[in-house]
Amino acid sequence: MEDWIFGIPTPVAMALIALIGYFLGKRNQRRVSVDQAFARRELKRAKSIAKQLEEISREVRRNLASHQSSIAHFKDRIALMSSDEKQGDESWQTLCEEAERMLSPTIRLSAQIANAYDEVRQQANLLMTFTESRTDPLTGLSNRRALDDSLESLFAMKDRYELTFSLCILDVDHFKKINDEFGHLEGDRVLQEVASLIDNCVRETDVVTRYGGEEFVVLMPSTDLEGANMFAERVRFAADEQLKVTVSGGVAQACASDEPKTLLARADAALYRAKGNGRNCIYSHTGECVLPYPLPNQEELDQQLETEAGLLEEVRSLERSLENRPQRVAEKSAEIEVETV
């Protein structure tokens, strides 16, 4: 007589249990794989930050040692002149000139210490992105809070030391369609793969954040607009080739009049243009206008400008039509009243 478990034949029940165990094991294996990749990535970043802090400390220590030697030499000269009463005005003049020469490196050293403090603060902010409150749980990247802190630090460095940096917003194209057709689990998998791809394309000093939904923001210190455009294009090409999904990008370089909100707004405007021009492309905001990357040839550029001028004229014509509409309605109403009378 065949045994039954919960109303199901024992062989069938055992097969179901084994199948469930297999899928659970695969799911846990994927989660472990993601966690291990995240841990390796964060360890690499931590080592890079520790190395930079060590270099800052070594440079300050070397300059302090050199300066201390100069002070000791100066002290010996003063002692020698004090013991020799025959030293004249000429020797004292030489000593004063030497004191002035020492003052210049003292000022430079003071500025360097202040610079080192700002750099240490910036690296400390990067270290803070490792904490759970600054990490996106799905992708393991930094979150919006970490982005705000990093932007504040970079703008402080830009204002004090004229640091150049750029920002890039990357957006997964047709992501809602992926969720609708394949489900949210598949959408989450796509986001994790895109996040991993972006993180593998950046330098150790760059900050990668999940901005919200399917959007990612990359902060690139010491990077001009051209360099940021090249990075965004590299990510776009890699996503299309390796993941079979497309991304659009908007790029902007921080300028003198920028603050965090305006820089993000300019990059977002470039992204909006990329979305409106067919997706799977990169646009950048120069501070004056939005341009595609790479730039088209002169004929294509003239055609694009002509098209945009035509659209602008259509908008203005529509605006004039709307402005004159109340007057035409009033005239038509008057004609109807006359005909009625």
* Residues tagged active-site: 214
User: How, if at all, do strands 290-293 and 4-5 pair?
Assistant: unpaired
How many CB atoms within 10 Å of residue 38?
18
DSSP class of 134: G
8 A C-beta contact, residue 76 and residue 62: no
73-104 burial, b at 16+ Cβ within 10 Å, e below that, comes to eeeeeeeeeeeeeeeeeeeeeebeeeeeeeee
Angle between helices 175-182 and 184-201 (to 10 degrees): 140
Which burial class, exposed, middle or buried, applies to 156 when counting CB atoms under 10 A from its CB (0-12, 13-18, 19+)? middle
d(CA 212, CA 39): 22
The DSSP-derived string for 240-281 is: IIIIS--EEEEEEE--TT--HHHHHHHHHHHHHHHHHTTSS-
- Centroid of chain to Cα 166: 7
